[in-house]
Amino acid sequence: MRSLGRWLLWMVLAGVALQMFFALRIAAMVVIDPASTAFMRSEAWRVGQESMTTDKTWRWSHQWVAGDQISSNLKRAVIASEDAGFLEHGGVDWEAIETAWQKNEKRQQQAEKRAAARPDKPVREPKVVGGSTITQQLAKNLMLSGERQFLRKGQELVLAVALEALLSKERILEIYLNSVEWGEGVFGAEAAAQRYFKKPASKLSASEAARLAVMLPSPKFFETRQGSAYLARRTGTIVARMGDVQLP
């Protein structure tokens, strides 16, 4: 029992030390721009490995720019598309998480019914709907793996609250827009603006910004489907919403 107690104590201390490490890293971001994120590093490794083992050409683009060098159109578009309650929540939108959970449960039940009705045909796994805020997405990209696990999701929630406690909304949005993925090896607003519109992020129009915002849930998918009818339709919807968005 003593050895079990010591083991549990060490586990608790390790957990506390990890949270302190994360908190110190976040606190440093008040004045220091993060050079990369955990997700960017894992993608760099993957793209590098593929370029060495296949004929695929290495492509990587990321350039940090100050928040005032990112078009307000893009800031409004991303909030309208990804997190309409960005200014109100404290990092986690519990109502959105509950709604996403209910949708996922419903889709899973529908998939099971289809599988039971047609046991001879394969049924695709239902698409998982997320309820993550911009802050949660930033927490995941900055410091965590991309695996879908309850433990990782719990850590994501803790980090989101820490980000909101230590950084301003303006700073959170600035870091997010400079680090989010916008295609294969394309990270940040500046790289995305240059990649898709051949212009700096500061010059993006409302429709261009909305188009980039719509790509965010599946950037690699839409990168090769720029003529998608859904992309065009959803872009118009986001443009219409942007006028109601307040910026931090």
Q: What is the mean pLDDT of each run of 10 residues along the chain (248 residues)?
A: 72 76 89 92 86 80 96 97 92 71 56 57 48 89 70 83 95 97 95 97 97 94 92 96 94
Long-range contacts made by residues 43-52, C-beta under 8 angstroms, separation at least 24?
43/181, 43/185, 43/187, 47/184, 47/185
pLDDT of residue 102: 60
For 116, phi and psi rounded to 5 degrees?
-70, -35
pLDDT of residue 119: 60
Domains annotated for the chain, with CATH where assigned, are 36-84+168-248 (1.10.3810.10)
Q: Rounded to two decimals, what is the model's pTM? A: 0.84
- Which residue in 150, 142, 143 sits closest to 174, CA to CA? 142
pLDDT of residue 129: 44
pLDDT of residue 45: 87
pLDDT of residue 130: 52
pLDDT of residue 23: 85
pLDDT of residue 14: 76
